[in-house]
Structure 1
């Protein structure tokens, strides 16, 4: 009996300690390789974290935005590597290849399916966390800035504003987005109708390729430079910095938020918005955020549609445009807040009123939730009857968010093949559906099923052949690569054409050129184009 109990205890102890032993062995081999492949005597042990390190969990969770992928049951990396400069990443790529260690690369952690820091298939894997590569150099005379990929878009906005009140950059409204993944997938924001995407305004880049070489636009070639601006992160190499073109903004801009409930005629107003949102003056961006709200003191739930806007100009001209083009909203002067561009970015990120712009340097997302999301593109207005059916589905979920983002303007003028991001001419607006919850004990399947239900309901009303979706709103429901035999045809028919349309073939061609052995692989990475299809 004693011997049996001792054997059981030994087995349990072995099972508990095995992951730490594996990590320590891997850490030792990785450290030795890094030292051999680095020109300096840098102490790499200070930027490499195994699970037994007291800082491991805090670093792992530091930028993970979707709390679904932070639970104990989710696979964890064997190591987290936090490089301080590009040469450290070069050594990491070389050593990962030599030691056959799978890499996940994280810049901001906003990946909707956690692919930048979770691998359900590849074991062992390590995270290369780029959060410490944060330098930003703004050159107002050249109308440009170099920004490392670990910096957030909020930090970039702030550093631009330090140099000029009449320059900006057209990227996302959530201020904690890491610039690496954000621009890699396109990067849309409140100035997309005026200036296009963040990726449309990139003029150079630094990337570390599969051989560990540091390349700029000239040395990487135009094919690879094309692919990394909107072809999504994690497929071609590790982008370390972008050179972006700054855009002009007026010294005075205007923001507003006007909310209409069903009881206030929300359905008819939203139908009208769908008709005109992509045709408005390109200085005007009005998105619609749709959520549930209490209609009465008794707690009856209703739908609230919030029109959240940025206008590149003063309130007087804005009101003239609104009264002519969208009087149904009833915008009044008291709804309008005149400010400067940098403070408008704080407003659009939903920080409390009068929050100083220094909050952008805190790199924080004010809301962290568990969520599952999907996206669509609409080419025609949803009929009022379709909106009414959508309201019924939204009311079934506790904390749903549906967002309509207008296109038109500059977005319609840029060719679908200019960069890999193809959703351009003919798109009226993009749609995001998200089920959100705050308790880890919630029934996850219930919320995921809701997103699938609303996505299925919307099928008749959105783009077709393919049904387009935004790659930065990753959705593994669309399909997952096989690790041992990534099929170009299978990936294309499941998710590739939805994200990239006809650009998918060219992306796979570039992948075959720069990473034929598919070292930079993940569940929805671009597969190499088969030789017979080149």
Structure 2
């Protein structure tokens, strides 16, 4: 106990000395980064650069805790300089690629007492496709739309199995797992990561081999928010798609049997052929069944008639197109063009939102769905529920294959989301999300009640900084095991390996487990030393 206390006190004073010199942080940056890439609070463009990738205006109010500055690096050396200056002068870094973090933690803080800066990777957006090898090197600041477009320009028979929203940044998406309309055929986006370049807390640039097996494992699904460093780019393996795919959207109201159809969907959708995904968006008194089938309408119709006849799919519902056209069609609508997925902003960016998530392993009873429709979805300020079916390839890998553990036995994921349009409003809409989440507790996963890390929700828990100015592992488990289940401990051990001093942290970053708390030189100035405490606290 005496040693632990000594280490905690020593580490506190070491960081306090750095924090005291945070006024020197900006001059340090200015010596290494061109002024046109550095935006301080006094810069005329600071507000516009900050807002440029804010997807949820709920975190763009005068009360929002804002960064000391925003660094918009043009090359890796600028990122390295930001890390070195931040470590030297007691300023932490938050990393933004697309700005879709549901709690805005890539550009804002809940706590005002800890100074931070933002490294905005919007300028890091190169996409380099190798058609022969069916691989891509893509920078973290590229959007999914830019990635999809670049792939389609090279080949109409290659694709990447990531999310539906084209404005999502690649860095955050891959860091959390990433799934979309190809998940049942090809699994998670992060399942296809082959290599990455990472700037660590010492400012080093590391590839897969240099960062080591555990850290490379950790960033592929457990690195939301930059817990392990700043990933500059990713090498991913592409997947094959047919020249023609089929999409459909079929809406059914309660009067048309939506409750019965949805109850049946729970059992059917996770067990369909892997080439077919049918998701459900539940809003008001209507369920919208949206689908992507890797094939023609002629091949799809017999499958739907035998496996899901209650939906009543017919040829008039089918829309045949290329895979990249389906990206625009499904998310942006029937009038959207492929070029529209290159737009880095979207109409929903001006809408205030609150969201959270659940996983379902046993089909929810029909009477429960009836109660949801007549009660929760009939409320004046009701939001929506998005149900994504699992099964297929996503369930084929073991839970420990990547930090993302929600695989075999999961029927579907639920995302609860609500919206409002004006600042100062939203209390009833946020209450709806929290109340329906509480109502659903008996019907979803337990021990832990699981959640998806890319649908971040601070209601699940917030980190507490404990002794030694290190995030508490025990506190982190409260939210961490919901996202990562049994993989959370391995993530914390990887964090201790790459960032033992917990430099990269936020309100839901991975805490280090097995911590080296003090590093320095002995009294004779001749040897370096590192004193470590290996425990679970």
Scaled by the length of structure 1, the TM-score of the pair is 0.90
Corresponding residue number in structure 2 for 1:521: 505
Aligned to 1:209: 200
Please give the residue correspondences for 1:126-525 in structure 2 after superposition, counting only pairs within 5 Å: 126-233=117-224, 234-292=226-284, 303-349=285-331, 351-368=332-349, 369-391=351-373, 392-398=375-381, 400-442=383-425, 444-485=426-467, 486-492=471-477, 494-525=478-509
More divergent stretch after superposition (120-129 vs 176-185):
120-129
1:532 is the counterpart of 2:534: yes
Instruction: Write the distance in 2 (CA, Å) between the matches of 1:221 and 1:54.
Output: 42
Q: Deviations over 1:498-529 (max 9, x none)?
A: 00000001000011111111000100101011
Residues 254 and 269 (structure 1), Cα distance of their counterparts in 2 relative to 1, 3 Å cut: same
Answer with 351-360 or 460-469: which moved more. Answer: 351-360
Unmatched runs of 5 consecutive residues or more in structure 2: 1-20, 515-532
Deviations 1:431-475 (A, max 9, x none): 000121111131x33222211110111111111111100001111
Secondary structure in 1 aligned to 2:534? helix
* Maintained 8 Å contact 2:175/2:219: yes
Q: How does 1:54-93 map to 2 (within 5 A)?
A: 54-93=44-83
| 1:111 aligned residue | 101
Aligned to 2:4: none
CA distance in 1, matches of 2:295, 2:462: 45
Moved more, 196-205 or 367-376: 367-376
Evaluate the alpha carbon distance shift between residue 31 and residue 456 of structure 1 in structure 2; reply closer, same or farther with a 3 A threshold.
Answer: closer
Inter-CA distance 34–72: structure 2 relative to 1 (3 Å threshold): closer
Q: CA deviation at 1:150?
A: 0.2
Q: How many residues align?
A: 491
Secondary structure of 2:335's counterpart equals coil
Q: Is the 8 A contact 1:191 1:285 kept in 2?
A: yes
Native 8 Å contact 1:319 1:331 kept in 2? yes
> In 2, Cα distance between the equivalents of 1:57 and 1:395?
39
**1:129, CA displacement in angstroms?**
0.5
Residues 166 and 342 in structure 2, CA contact (< 8 A), matched pair in contact too:
no
- Do the aligned residues in 1 keep the contact of 2:67 with 2:118 (CA within 8 Å)? yes
* Superimposed CA distance per residue, residues 205-234 of structure 1 (whole angstroms, 9 cap, x where no aligned partner): 000000000011111111110000000322
Name the counterpart of 2:39.
Answer: 49
Preserved contact between residue 77 and residue 126 of structure 1 (Cα < 8 Å): yes
Unaligned runs of 5+ in 1: 1-24, 293-302
DSSP-derived class of the 1:255 partner: strand
Aligned to 1:256, the other structure's residue is in SS state: strand
- Alpha-carbon contact 1:288-1:307 (below 8 Å) kept: yes
| 1:240 shift after superposition | 0.5
User: How far apart are 1:397 and its partner, in Å?
Assistant: 4.5
Segment drifting more, 61-70 vs 476-485: 476-485
Is the 8 Å Cα contact of residues 145 and 341 (structure 2) preserved in structure 1? yes
Mapped contact 1:56–1:80 kept (Cα < 8 A): yes
Q: Give the drift of 1:52.
A: 2.5
Give distance in 2, aligned partners of 1:255 and 1:403.
18
In the TM superposition, residue 77 of structure 1 has moved relative to its aligned partner by: 1.4
